[in-house]
Amino acid sequence: MGDLRHTSPERAVDAASRRRVDREILALAVPALGALVAEPLFVLVDSAVVGHLGTPQLAGLSLASNVLLTVVGLCIFLAYTTTAQVARLMGAGKEREALRSGVDGLWLAVGLGAVLAVAVATTAPLAVDALGARGDVGQHAVTYLRWSAPGLPGMLLVLAATGVLRGLKDTRTPLVVATAGAIVNAVLNVVLVYGAGLGIAGSGLGTAVTQLGMGAVLTAVVARGARARRAGLRPHRAGILSGVAAGAPLLVRTLSLRLAILLTVVVATDLGDVSLAGHQVVSSLWGLAAFALDALAIAAQALVGHGLGAGDVGHVRGVLRRCLQWGVGAGAAIGLVLAAAGWWIAPLFSSDPEVRVAAALALAVCGLLMPMAGWVFVLDGVLIGAGDGRYLAWAGMITLAVYVPFALAVQTWAPDGGPGLAWLWAAFAGVFMAARAVTTGLRARGTAWLVTGA
């Protein structure tokens, strides 16, 4: 009878396997989270430094930084495709091919970055005018865009090189470089804005120099790994075209997300100043919560790519299960904090009682729905790691189509203020995320994405 109280060998093996997978997930997710949090410090530092120059300068920076973030955000496929490709090849034991693929990704990034740098610098006045900025605000926005545009190749190199290193299961190096970059950016901004007297131009230049430096450091790390495996550093036309082909569906997927976010802002604006101000508070906190869930998605990308490359479907399924458990659990914990503390968090952002109420109500809605967001983020990362970009592109457009009528219904019938903002976030965090949960969940239940080998 005493033996029955002991853990069976099968359960012991399962528990050991779960612990091993947990260690793999956390070893990748924790440093990835640090790197994700370090990046927004660039915008915060720029805002703090430029804010003391005056309100027009700060408003111009806000406009210009949103343009840059949109451009760079649409290029996130550079990180995702290199992670999936490198991880799969490494899992298959093809280290030289993995680094060669990574090098081609870097060449694609620097080429695309150069084109975008010229485009942003030359079209800055048109972009600013299209966004409605006039007078001093528009001039400062154009100045910042033109001085920061040369940093775009560095920004995209950071994305691609980070993707390569994630595929190699190295999320620590990007963390170190991102942290150092945030510090250097802060120093350069103060020196150039005030010491050199360049004003907002100095802020743009400091950011550009920092991003170019970060891109150079991460590129050197990847190049060293490539030389060690005799992968070569020359670009390969076939490899670059393969990266473009793999990245195009992920660009569509990212575009669908951006359009959904933009539509949400449009509706919040139409609901009135109180709703728009409250929306800024909620969306900022939602974005912060997304960093933690994104870190798990990044871990899933790398581990799934390695597992499929090695042909170990059982391990991939195990990673999927544990990442989902971590994602839903993290979402529940974060959601509980947002829902319970919303009434205390909102006053930190606004002294307007109506804005506080609106933000707190919407945060309560977000908190209740955050576990589903954790599910979605993880599944998104799993399918990206599996190279299932084409499905994600179609799914993204379908979920956007599902969301649009609900968002428009809120715009038409929801009341102004807090209740309207709560309904808007119920549509975004509820309907839109539910549609993503269904489309990614159905895919993950099947086997079409479980394509093994390199």
pLDDT for residue 39: 67
The CA distance from 421 to 67, in Å, is: 25
Give the pLDDT score at 335: 93
Residue type for 208, please?
A
Q: pTM for the whole thing?
A: 0.83
- Which of 153-162, 268-277, 390-399 has the least mean pLDDT? 268-277
Angstrom distance (rounded) from CA 145 to CA 187? 20
Given this model, what pLDDT does residue 208 score? 94
Q: Please indicate whether residue 124 or residue 41 has the higher confidence score (pLDDT).
A: 124
Please spell the DSSP secondary structure of 368-391, one letter per residue.
Answer: HHHHHHHHHHHHHHHHHHTT-HHH
Please check the confidence at residue 430 and state whether its pLDDT lies above 50: yes
The CA–CA distances, whole Å, from 429 to 306, 344, 366, 388, 421 equal 31, 21, 6, 24, 12
Q: What is the pLDDT of residues 364-380, one digit of tens each?
A: 999 999 999 999 999 99
Residue 44 confidence (pLDDT): 65
- What the block records as the tokens of 261 is 């976010």
Nearest in space to 258 (alpha carbons), one of 69, 115, 34:
69
Residue 219 neighbours by CB under 8 Å, 6+ apart: 106, 157, 161
The pLDDT of residue 131: 67
Tokens representing 418 are 């807090």
pLDDT digits (tens, 9 = 90+) for 109-138: 999 999 999 999 999 998 888 766 678 878
The neighbour count for residue 377, using CB atoms within 10 Å, is 27
**pLDDT, greater one: 34 or 299:** 299
Which pair of tokens denotes residue 443?
């895919």
**Whether residue 276 has pLDDT greater than 80:** no
pLDDT band at 40 (very low <50, low <70, confident <90, very high): low
Helices (H), 168-199: 172-190
pLDDT surpasses 90 at 151: yes
Q: Which of 190-194, 282-286, 427-431, 438-442 shows the lowest per-residue confidence on average (mean pLDDT)?
A: 282-286
**Could you report the per-residue pLDDT of 301-354, keeping only the tens digit for each?**
889 988 899 888 988 898 899 999 999 999 999 999 989 888 888 787 667 788
- How far apart are alpha carbons 218 and 224 in whole angstroms? 10
pLDDT tens digits, one per residue of 409-428: 998 998 887 888 999 999 99
pLDDT exceeds cutoff 90 at 72: no
Asked whether residue 7 carries a pLDDT value surpassing 80, the answer given is no
Q: pLDDT tens for residues 162-174?
A: 999 999 989 899 9
Q: Over range 53-72, report the average pLDDT.
A: 79
Helix, strand, or coil (residue 422):
helix
Predicted confidence (pLDDT) at residue 437 exceeds the cutoff of 60:
yes
Over 50: is that where the pLDDT of 265 sits? yes
Buried b / exposed e over 275-300, threshold 16 CB at 10 Å, is bbbbbbbbbebbeebbbbbbbbbbbb
Question: Could you give the C-alpha distances from 280 to 20, 110, 141, 218, 373, in angstroms and in order?
Answer: 40, 33, 20, 33, 19
Average pLDDT of the chain, as a whole number:
87
Mean pLDDT of 5-15: 53
As a residue count, the chain comes to: 454
CA geometry: angle 75, 77, 83, nearest 5 deg:
135
pLDDT of residue 3: 47
What is the model's pLDDT at position 59? 72
Rounded distance, CA 358 to CA 268, Å? 11
**Would you say residue 12 has pLDDT above 80?**
no
CA torsion, ordered 52, 137, 151, 111, to nearest 10 deg: 170
Average pLDDT over residues 154-182: 91
pLDDT at 133: 67
